[in-house]
Amino acid sequence: MDAPQARSSDLRSPVLRDAAVDKPVDLEHLRRYTLGDKALEDEVLGLFLAQLPVTIASLRTATTPRDWKIAAHALKGSSRAVGAWRIASLAQEAEALAGHGEPDACSEAIAKLEAAASEASIFVQNCADRR
């Protein structure tokens, strides 16, 4: 079974918005990629969560529009891969700020990403505690 690819248009669709975006991480999406392998799922989520603060820090320290765009794009891609649609959507918005964003808009984008990352981390931890 092919896993669905999330595109920006998907994030606005009622089905994806209602079913998947309500949770910080769409575990069903991830399970399709890991073929239900719980150990692999845990490993991928662990890597994703470990990299989140590093990538967000790259946004905070970006000194050029190119640096900002690379960090936001990386975050968007990794978030889509694990089904973290809310983070992916925020990263896409941040990516659009490259070269156009004012400092306040960039700071706000980072704050939103940090909040969504924290929410995803707590969600994943709570899921792991239930296993």
Domain boundaries, the chain: 10-129
Query: pLDDT tens for residues 76-129?
Result: 999 999 999 999 999 999 999 988 868 899 999 999 999 999 999 999 999 877
Report the b/e string of 61-83 with b at 16+ CB within 10 A.
ebeeeeebbbbbbbbbebbbbbb
- With a CB cutoff of 8 Å and minimum separation 6, the contacts of 78 are 48, 51, 55
Over residues 1-22, mean pLDDT = 46
Closest by alpha carbon to 81, among 25, 16, 10?
25
Q: What per-residue confidence (pLDDT) applies to 104?
A: 92
Provide the whole-model pTM: 0.82
Cα–Cα distance, 44 to 114 (Å, whole number):
19
**Domain over 10-129 is classified CATH 1.20.120.160:** yes
